Amino acid sequence: MNNVRIYNNEQILKRMASLPSFKGYPKGRHIVGVRSNEDAANVPDDKFYFFTETTFDTMATGTTNPGTPILEGGFLKYNKAGAAVIKADEVYYDVWKYGLHMGKMPALIQVGKFLGFRDGDRDKKSEEIGPLQTFEWCGINFHTMDYNQYSKEVKKTIGNWSAGCQVVNAVEKFYQVINLFKTQKRVTYTLLNEWDPNE
């Protein structure tokens, strides 16, 4: 299920610093997502790394892509142009703040701008296709796959839990870390494509 390779602290920070959008490591806690090159259909096969400035805190599994029901046409409920796919290899400074997803779940909610694409070809693959767009006030949040904070389940399919949101599939893990962001005004998110650190 977790097809993306695992990186160490130094590899992630080096990759982050190499991006054109990098303006320095964020103050406080921030998150780095790594998108699997395999991108198995409807499978949460990505990873999230949590840092306090340059100190690694913990890691979680999940998805940086919409689920198959959204990609195959469910996106019409949100935007007729296609499912939201965030552009990878970008640092998005101060893009989230602590709040509630759908008014029900502790989460990091969008307050800044993402770059991304609208995948509207209705296949099972999440793709960076079409014109690059700015996603502003699109509700691209960071949350988990269960409103029950006491759930021990690690979800194995994405389904409708992501229409562009960045989503942790290990429910218990998510609820362990989300409260750490309560007192932070803004949260920076970096999304990376899986890469070979030896190249």
Q: Which alpha helices (DSSP H) does 100-189 contain, by range?
A: 171-178
Give me the numbers of helices (H) and strands (E) for the chain, helices first please.
3, 11
Cα 67–chain centre separation: 13
**Segments making up each domain of the chain, as ranges:** 9-155+185-193
pLDDT tens, residue by residue, 63-94: 999 989 888 887 778 878 788 999 999 999 99
- Residues 46, 39: Cα–Cα separation, whole Å: 8
Report the relative pairing of strands 133-136 and 113-119 from DSSP bridges: antiparallel
In the structure encoding, which two tokens stand for residue 16, read together? 């982050």
pLDDT tens, residue by residue, 9-22: 999 999 999 999 99
- pLDDT recorded at residue 137: 83
pLDDT tens, residue by residue, 104-157: 999 999 999 999 999 878 898 888 988 999 999 889 999 999 999 889 999 999
Using CA atoms, how far residue 115 sits from 10, 128, 197, in Å, is 26, 11, 25
- pLDDT recorded at residue 1: 46
Instruction: Calculate mean pLDDT across residues 93-109.
Output: 95
Report the relative pairing of strands 55-63 and 142-144 from DSSP bridges: unpaired
- Residues 106, 182: Cα–Cα separation, whole Å: 9
* Bridge partners (DSSP) listed for residue 49: 32, 59
Report the relative pairing of strands 142-144 and 133-136 from DSSP bridges: unpaired
Q: Are 15 and 195 in contact (CB under 8 A)?
A: yes
Q: Tokens 């700015």 belong to which residue?
A: 134
DSSP code string of 11-36: HHHHHHHTSTT--SPPSSEEEEEEE-
- Residues 145, 157: Cα–Cα separation, whole Å: 10
Q: Tokens 């290990």 belong to which residue?
A: 170
pTM: 0.95
- pLDDT above 90 covers a percentage of the chain that reads 77
* Short-list 121, 31, 49, 47, CA closest to 85: 121
